[in-house]
Amino acid sequence: MTQSNGKKNINLTLKVWRQVGPNVKGRLETYQANNISTDMSFLEMLDVVNEELIINHRDPIAFDHDCREGICGMCGAVVNGRAHGPEKGTTLCQLHMRHFSDRDTVVIEPWRSRAFKIIKDLVVDRSALDVIIQAGGYISVSAGGTPDANVIPVPQEAAEKAMDAAACIGCGACVAACPNASAMLFVGAKVSHLALLPQGVPEAARRVLKMVQKMDECGFGNCTNETECEAVCPKEISITNIARLNREYIKAGFL
């Protein structure tokens, strides 16, 4: 079994962004992470470092995390220049230390974007993403009074494509990776998810116009087809969703 054969411990040098609050200057600080099992996840490695910091009466590194199984979208940091680290289609919590080598230096920084303020260290404020959803990322139905679920057949292919887009976990890695700090992949995924389903069609035009407007207001940049977002997306959301967003947006303008 590869797991047991590959098992070993490694020592790393970490350079971690430390920043006490949003309006305070931050800097990279160096820490040693010693005797790290390669079976650990990246966040478990940070736990080990933090335990040592606490015992030595130093301030532990603040980082967001929750489910630790790659689905809640809470965690995320830029590791060696890449959002969520080196593995494709992986959130930071699902990145395991077996992808690092003994005596590596690992640089860990927060998401950086005008729309995401730093709260502390690696923790950023991503509420702008919620604000975009509030602008129209839903189908306006209230509880009760809905027709039987099988009244509206949805072609399997459309349902699958909608699901591909709906897999977005809202982590913000796309924004962090984009040179323009654009949220087009995030918005494209939501617009696609709902526009691909017949239930979402009645509001499609209104939805895309409002969400794009809100995205601009929140200070996210524009898409210039760098495709960095797709490369780092832990759910491998395709940039065809950005193309669909653009189509929906243009279509809405003609209505």
HSE-CB at 142 with a 13 A cutoff on CA atoms is: 1
Residue found by looking up tokens 């820490």 in the block: 31
Cα separations in angstroms, 64 against 27, 37, 123, 165: 19, 22, 6, 24
H or E element that contains 232: helix 228-232
**Please, which residue, 26 or 60, has the CB nearer to another protein?**
60
**Please, which residue, 74 or 239, has the CB nearer to another protein?**
74
Residue 254 CB partners (closer than 8 Å, separation 6+): none
Residue 106 · residue 12 · CB < 8 Å: yes
**Please, which residue, 30 or 156, has the CB nearer to another protein?**
156
Closest distance to another protein from the beta carbon of 112 (Å): 17
Closest distance to another protein from the beta carbon of 224 (Å): 27
**Please, which residue, 28 or 201, has the CB nearer to another protein?**
201
**Please, which residue, 97 or 177, has the CB nearer to another protein?**
97
Closest distance to another protein from the beta carbon of 229 (Å): 19
Closest distance to another protein from the beta carbon of 226 (Å): 26
Is the C-alpha dihedral spanning 63, 54, 98, 78 positive or negative? positive
